[in-house]
Amino acid sequence: MSYAICCVPLSPLRAAPSHKSEMVSQQLFGECCEVLEREKDGWVRVRCRFDGYEGWCTDSHLTEIDEPEHADIGSALAPDWVNEVGFNGRPMMVPLGSSLTAMRNGHAAWKENEIYFKGRAWIPAGAKRDERTIRQLAFTFLNTPYLWGGRSVFGIDCSGFTQTVLKFFGIALLRDAWQQAGQGEPVGFLQEVRIGDLAFFDNEEGRITHVGILLNEHEIIHASGKVRIDKIDNMGIVHSETFRRTHHLRLIKRCLPS
DSSP conformation class of 101: T
Exactly one of 210, 239, 248, 255 is catalytic; which is it? Answer: 210
Go through the domains of the chain in sequence order and give each one's CATH number: 2-116 (2.30.30.40), 127-254 (3.90.1720.10)
Q: Residue 105 has what pLDDT?
A: 73
The least confident of 23-32, 93-102, 145-154 is 93-102
The least confident of 70-74, 127-131, 145-149 is 70-74
Strands 32-38 and 90-95, how do they pair?
unpaired
Strand 82-87's sheet: what is its strand order?
90-95, 82-87, 113-116, 107-110
Determine the distance from the C-alpha atom of residue 219 to the mean position of all C-alpha atoms in its chain, rounded to a whole number.
Answer: 21
Answer positive or negative: Cα dihedral of 225, 228, 230, 234.
positive
Exactly one of 32, 33, 158, 255 is catalytic; which is it? Answer: 158
Indicate if the pLDDT at residue 254 is higher than 80. yes
Asked about 107 being catalytic, the answer comes back as no
Indicate if the pLDDT at residue 154 is higher than 80. yes
Task: Indicate the pLDDT class of residue 258, thresholds 50, 70 and 90.
Answer: confident
pLDDT digits (tens, 9 = 90+) for 171-228: 999 999 999 999 999 999 999 999 999 999 999 999 999 999 999 999 999 999 999 9
The least confident of 64-68, 122-126, 227-231, 232-236 is 64-68
Task: Indicate the pLDDT class of residue 112, thresholds 50, 70 and 90.
Answer: confident
Q: Residue 72 has what pLDDT?
A: 67
Exactly one of 7, 33, 70, 222 is catalytic; which is it? Answer: 222
Asked about 222 being catalytic, the answer comes back as yes
Asked about 158 being catalytic, the answer comes back as yes
pLDDT digits (tens, 9 = 90+) for 60-110: 999 998 887 777 666 899 999 999 999 999 999 999 999 997 777 788 888
Dist. CA 40–CA 201, nearest whole Å: 40
Q: How many CB atoms lie within 10 A of CB 61?
A: 21
**To 5 degrees, how large is the angle CA 11–CA 16–CA 22?**
65
